[in-house]
């Protein structure tokens, strides 16, 4: 085919450390004439391909950062963009980045070592992110004497592992040597027993298996412009076609309008199709903002606020049920809380194991609840509307990436019941509004003592109150919870929900909990209206708190008899912007009590 007609293939090279990815890519660049004369070196010399690629693009910074290196090359038949993904386990997130846009994956295996855990992890990740074709490149065949038995043993093992992983992949295996070039661009005379294609020919002939996104129009709104003809809604078409006169539906709002104009980059156009960046002007003003999805009225995009998903966790801090994150799906950002961790995947056996948390580089099946409904598609039907990332709400780092399997049916069966008596009516008969005073600090800081004194003073004033104390609640509502990180998150989630109901009832509720993690305290705050949640940090030095150890808890923790004890072997994260910061080491209980009452007044 002519150069301007050839198709573009995006592929990744992945696998374990030192399986030869950089050397193989260097050989491809060398054998396809994609290197300059200076990069080739002296005539007849074989370049040090790994060193050459490090020189082409600095992808290692003092041995700390290894990112995905994207490289381009071409043959008369095809153009290629290859993502050279690091094999190091701690940089699995970079490999996932490459897989998310790839059409094909070249999974390398060192013939001397066979399949390694990282080989299987990378295979599971490419399958999860929708890559359906894999080339198993059994590299370094020169190091095993070009053995057919070694090659066929690895291929047989890989077939079995794919079945265990339930990975819906088609793959072909190629024995090769990136160092010598055998079966890379030219057939190998030393492996005459191999009747298959070379790696380069396989890549040239690879059919790009695009997912069927359907014919129904879908466009996530990226931004809104003010145009002479009205408001313009800009975005990229991710499915279907659109033209002037077509009817559109805005999801999740459900409003409808007709298309008045379709604009391309610099002019008005008749129609647009999948992949086109456009701006739409509608025949009437609608409330449309970034993150909404414009879609066909005949086949509108589904909406939901609860999903079953698969997640690759990338953060050093584990993923815990009850903890909330920012989920970016399409062009929309929403708050999402993990409600259920159904299982995690053992990449070596393919088994689904029960789990209370996901650690870095683990894949799990998870259920999420969002604070707002979003328009979506299952990832298998549409990558753009079915894929998402999870962002830590405090550090703003990407903590995970995932794919939507389906919406949970229960999300469509739950509706808010309209009630005649609201919180304003409850507040009127009590003579005051409900509030939540959340006291946090180390064990022994004085939280319960201060909270008890505050409630006594409020009671004398005729204020309706209730005190939720950490120890007391664990005798009943939370008796089933321990002190692991996951249990602590659930402990706070339950108490926050109870406190929200009490505030809705018009009570001033005092919550006296260690609540060591900022993320959970922030989650609690977001359940309340502005001004209803007052965080009070009872700041006491560890030495002072430990000296007040009337329960003997610190002594047990120091002796190793009480694991996961806050301040000893489990961290406490002080509030960054509490409504009130009390120095409980230097203030009396009476002074602290007056400060909280003044805050309420």
Active site residues: 515
For residue 351, how far is the Cα from the chain centroid?
22
- Strand, helix or coil at 8? strand
For 330-479, list the strands marked E by DSSP.
332-345, 352-353, 363-375, 387-391, 398-407, 435-440, 465-469
C-alpha distances (whole Å) from 442 to each of 240, 438, 535, 567 are 57, 13, 14, 7
CB atoms under 10 Å from CB of 124, counted, come to 22
- Strand, helix or coil at 458? helix
Alpha-carbon gap, residue 168 to 589, rounded angstroms: 64
Closest by CA to 199, choosing from 145, 135, 140, 262, is: 135
Q: 80: which strand partners? A: 9, 73
Say if strands 508-512 and 533-539 run parallel, antiparallel, or are unpaired: unpaired
569: left (phi over 0), alpha (psi -120 to 50) or beta: alpha
C-alpha distances (whole Å) from 284 to each of 186, 257, 294 are 61, 6, 14
Query: For 351, how many CA atoms within 13 A lie in the half-sphere containing its CB?
Result: 5
Instruction: Report whether 243 contacts 259 (CB < 8 A).
Output: yes
- Please, what sign has the CA dihedral across residues 280, 282, 288, 294? negative
Only one residue has tokens 């894949």, namely 363
Alpha-carbon gap, residue 513 to 532, rounded angstroms: 18
- The two tokens of residue 122 are 């990378």
CB atoms under 10 Å from CB of 68, counted, come to 19
If you ran DSSP here, which 8-state letter would residue 179 be given?
Answer: T
Instruction: Report whether 440 contacts 521 (CB < 8 A).
Output: yes
Instruction: Report whether 327 contacts 370 (CB < 8 A).
Output: yes
CB atoms under 10 Å from CB of 149, counted, come to 8
Closest by CA to 87, choosing from 59, 112, 49, 127, is: 59
Say if strands 293-296 and 247-251 run parallel, antiparallel, or are unpaired: antiparallel
Only one residue has tokens 């970016």, namely 328
Closest by CA to 156, choosing from 115, 191, 194, is: 115
Instruction: Report whether 240 contacts 217 (CB < 8 A).
Output: yes
Instruction: Report whether 309 contacts 367 (CB < 8 A).
Output: yes
| 252 preceded by a cis bond (ω within 30 of 0) | yes
């Amino acid at each position: 085919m002519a150069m301007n007609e050839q198709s573009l293939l995006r592929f990744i090279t992945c696998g374990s450390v030192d399986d030869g990815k950089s050397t193989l890519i260097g050989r491809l660049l060398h054998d396809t004439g994609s290197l300059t004369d200076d990069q080739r070196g002296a005539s007849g010399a074989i370049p040090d391909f790994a060193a050459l690629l490090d020189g082409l693009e600095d992808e290692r910074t003092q041995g700390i950062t290894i990112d995905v290196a994207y490289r381009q090359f071409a043959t008369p038949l095809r153009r290629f963009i290859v993502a050279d993904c690091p094999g190091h386990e701690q940089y699995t997130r970079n490999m996932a980045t490459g897989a998310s846009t790839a059409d094909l994956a070249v999974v390398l295996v060192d013939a001397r070592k066979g399949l390694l855990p990282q080989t299987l992890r990378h295979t599971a990740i490419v399958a999860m992110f929708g890559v359906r074709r894999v080339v198993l490149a059994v590299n370094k065949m020169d190091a095993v004497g070009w053995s057919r038995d070694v090659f066929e043993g690895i291929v047989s093992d890989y077939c079995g592992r794919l079945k265990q992983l339930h990975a819906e992949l088609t793959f072909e295996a190629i024995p090769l040597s990136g160092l010598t070039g055998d079966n890379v661009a030219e057939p190998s005379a030393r492996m005459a027993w191999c009747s298959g294609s070379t790696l380069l020919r396989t890549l040239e002939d690879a059919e790009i298996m695009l997912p069927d996104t359907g014919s129904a129009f879908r466009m996530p709104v990226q931004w809104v412009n003010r145009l002479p003809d009205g408001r313009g809604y800009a975005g990229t078409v991710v499915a279907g076609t659109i033209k002037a006169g077509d009817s559109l539906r805005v999801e999740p709002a459900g409003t409808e309008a007709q298309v008045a104009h379709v604009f391309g980059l610099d002019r008005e156009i008749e129609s647009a199709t999948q992949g086109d960046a456009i701006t739409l002007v509608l025949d009437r003003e609608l409330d449309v903002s970034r993150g909404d999805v414009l879609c066909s009225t005949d086949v509108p995009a589904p909406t939901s606020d609860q999903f079953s998903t698969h997640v690759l966790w990338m953060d050093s801090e584990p993923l815990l049920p009850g903890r909330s994150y920012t989920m970016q799906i399409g062009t929309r950002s929403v708050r999402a809380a993990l409600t259920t961790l159904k299982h995690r995947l053992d990449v070596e056996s393919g088994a689904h194991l029960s789990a209370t948390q996901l650690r870095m580089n683990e894949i799990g099946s998870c259920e999420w609840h969002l604070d707002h409904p979003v328009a979506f598609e299952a990832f298998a039907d549409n990558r753009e509307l079915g894929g998402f990332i999870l962002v830590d709400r405090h550090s703003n780092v990407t903590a995970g990436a995932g794919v939507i399997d389906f919406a949970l049916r229960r999300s469509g069966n739950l509706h808010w019941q309209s009630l005649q008596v609201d919180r304003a009516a409850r507040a009127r008969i009590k003579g005051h509004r409900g509030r939540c005073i959340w006291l946090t600090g180390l064990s022994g800081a004085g939280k319960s003592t201060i909270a008890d004194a505050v409630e006594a003073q409020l009671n004398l004033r005729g204020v309706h109150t209730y005190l939720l104390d950490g120890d007391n609640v664990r005798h009943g509502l939370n008796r089933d919870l321990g002190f692991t990180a996951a249990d602590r998150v659930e402990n706070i989630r339950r108490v926050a929900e109870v406190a929200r109901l009490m505030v809705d009832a018009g009570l001033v509720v005092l919550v006296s909990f260690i609540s060591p993690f900022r993320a959970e305290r922030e989650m609690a705050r977001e359940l309340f209206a502005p001004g209803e949640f007052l965080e009070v940090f009872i700041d006491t030095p560890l030495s002072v708190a430990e000296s007040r150890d009337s329960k003997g808890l610190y002594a047990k923790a120091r002796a190793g008899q009480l694991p996961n004890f806050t301040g000893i072997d489990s961290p406490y994260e002080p509030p960054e912007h509490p409504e009130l910061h009390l120095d409980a080491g230097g203030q009396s209980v009476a002074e602290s009590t007056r400060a909280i009452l003044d805050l309420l007044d």
